[in-house]
């Protein structure tokens, strides 16, 4: 059976470049319609002989009020323009049910079409295949990464994306160069408000930060969650390059104690803000120092200033108050008040995991683990005497090797060269994502060799 179709595409205006003229996107489509009694609408819609002719395109109703009729009748719209285009069976059905055939005009404007529809109508033909309608959303910001051939049209692309996504208030494009010290992407405003302070929700946590001054990648949400799922609630985690807390905050919500560090003062500021907003002040300690110094001092810092023991999942403020009331009521009803409600657990003095989420250069910091268990005066084991097992290290990195076996060999070789020892215990390599046609991001996890931790 021949398929009927209506041309709903927008008019072509390839002369646009910087300015978006929304008024030129108008289109009128003449169709055939059947004027029918309102009470018989269902009968017509369920008719087998009419079904293939009835309008069935997005955002266009197949039945509308008849604007020229005062008796409340409806218009059933067809996707043909003339009565001759209907089959004889369809015409007979309409006659038997006293339907009157009339012309009807469907009016379309800029609001009808999607962002991709509009860009297909304004971009040069040679750029249509890669029409850049994909973007990441962080809070109210849409973040594009435009290829150079689309840069002459960046303003109009930004305006279209802003128009077509009501939740978006700001559209930015990543600029090629990256801040060399703090590793966040520089960006330019394409459309909307110049407001870069966002509130982003991830893993039941709230993150507030200045998107123009810190690093954040919403595409890493799955990876953040994957790694945190590996943590045990009683763990002590040292997050070397914590950013604004995408690992640290969810880990603390799980019950983990966290040392969270970032060299970028803006990241450290918003990390501290997010610690307070997510009610994990007692579980996360923020710092702003060089990653190598942080690694060398982390073991000693936790030994000298231990975290409180794990006491169950982190509750919201409201649930925490209710829990305290419940415990107080339980204690008041107990006959023997000399016994505690639960056994007393020791404070947490041992780091169980290090997270190193700086894939561009994290491997370069691995040499800082040499001797972290040795006392500060170098005379003995120092804090290392507390460690029955060495900490796990989760280190992110890039590789140009695209075959998994070669990628594993490349990353492992670089890790061992930096720490000066073979890695053999609990080694795992996880492909995070492809970041470029010839560049993949991995997370390598391994247990710190004891001989490295106690190296002098």
Report yes or no: 261 and 294 within 8 Å, Cβ to Cβ.
Answer: yes
301 is in an annotated binding site: no
- How far apart (Å, rounded) are the C-alpha atoms in residues 238 and 353? 6
263 is in an annotated binding site: yes
Lateral strand order in the sheet of 74-77: 63-65, 74-77, 27-36, 100-108
**Cα 220 from chain centroid?**
6
- How far apart (Å, rounded) are the C-alpha atoms in residues 181 and 306? 31
Report yes or no: 386 and 350 within 8 Å, Cβ to Cβ.
Answer: yes
Q: Supply 301's token pair.
A: 């810092």
Q: Supply 375's token pair.
A: 């006392």
378 is in an annotated binding site: no
224 is in an annotated binding site: yes
Burial 63-95 (b: 16+ CB within 10 A, else e): beebeeeeeebbbbbbbbeeeeebeeebeebbe
Q: Is the dihedral of CA 106, 111, 112, 115 positive or negative?
A: positive
What number of other Cβ atoms are within 10 A of residue 452's Cβ?
20
CA-nearest of 221, 252, 223 to 235 is 252
Q: Which residues are annotated as a binding site?
A: 224, 262-263, 290-291, 357
Q: Which residues are annotated as a binding site for S-adenosyl-L-methionine?
A: 224, 262-263, 290-291, 357
């Amino acid at each position: 059976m021949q398929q009927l179709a209506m041309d709903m595409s927008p008019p072509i205006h390839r002369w646009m470049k910087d300015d978006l003229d929304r008024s030129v996107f108008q289109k009128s489509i003449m169709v055939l319609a059947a004027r029918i009694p309102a009470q018989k609408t269902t009968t017509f819609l369920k008719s087998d002989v009419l079904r293939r002719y009835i309008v069935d395109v997005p955002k266009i109703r197949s039945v509308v009020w008849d604007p020229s009729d005062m008796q409340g009748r409806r218009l059933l719209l067809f996707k043909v323009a003339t009565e001759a285009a209907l089959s004889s069976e369809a015409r007979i059905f309409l006659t038997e049910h006293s339907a009157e055939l009339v012309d009807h005009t469907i009016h379309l404007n800029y609001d009808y079409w999607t962002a991709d529809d509009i860009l297909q109508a304004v971009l040069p033909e040679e750029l249509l295949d890669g029409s850049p309608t994909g973007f990441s959303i962080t809070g109210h910001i849409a973040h594009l990464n435009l290829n150079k051939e689309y840069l002459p049209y960046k303003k109009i692309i930004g305006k279209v994306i802003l128009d077509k996504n009501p939740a978006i208030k700001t559209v930015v494009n990543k600029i090629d160069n990256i801040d060399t010290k703090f590793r966040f992407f520089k960006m330019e405003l394409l459309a909307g408000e110049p407001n870069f302070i966002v509130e982003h929700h991830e893993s039941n946590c709230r993150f507030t930060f200045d998107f123009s001054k810190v690093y954040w990648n919403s595409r890493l949400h799955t990876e953040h969650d994957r790694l945190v799922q590996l943590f045990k609630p009683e763990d002590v985690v040292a997050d070397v390059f914590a950013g604004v807390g995408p690992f640290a905050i969810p880990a603390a919500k799980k019950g983990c104690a966290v040392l969270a560090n970032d060299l970028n003062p803006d990241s450290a500021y918003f990390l501290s803000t997010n610690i307070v907003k997510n009610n994990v002040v007692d579980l996360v300690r923020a710092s702003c120092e060089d990653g190598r110094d942080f690694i060398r001092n982390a073991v000693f810092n936790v030994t000298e200033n231990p975290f409180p023991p794990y006491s169950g999942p982190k509750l919201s403020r409201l649930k925490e108050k209710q829990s305290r009331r419940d415990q107080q009521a339980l204690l008041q009803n107990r006959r023997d008040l000399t016994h505690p409600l639960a056994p007393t657990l020791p404070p947490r003095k041992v780091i169980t995991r290090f997270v190193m989420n700086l894939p561009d250069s994290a491997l370069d910091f691995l040499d800082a683990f040499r001797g972290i268990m040795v006392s500060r005066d170098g005379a003995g084991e120092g804090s290392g005497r507390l460690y029955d097992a060495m900490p796990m290290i989760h280190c992110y990195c890039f590789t140009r090797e695209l075959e998994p076996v070669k990628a594993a060999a490349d990353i492992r070789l670089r890790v061992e060269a930096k720490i000066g020892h073979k890695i053999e215990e609990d080694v795992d390599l996880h492909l995070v994502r492809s970041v470029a046609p010839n560049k993949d991001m991995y997370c390598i996890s391994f247990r710190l060799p004891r001989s490295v931790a106690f190296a002098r």
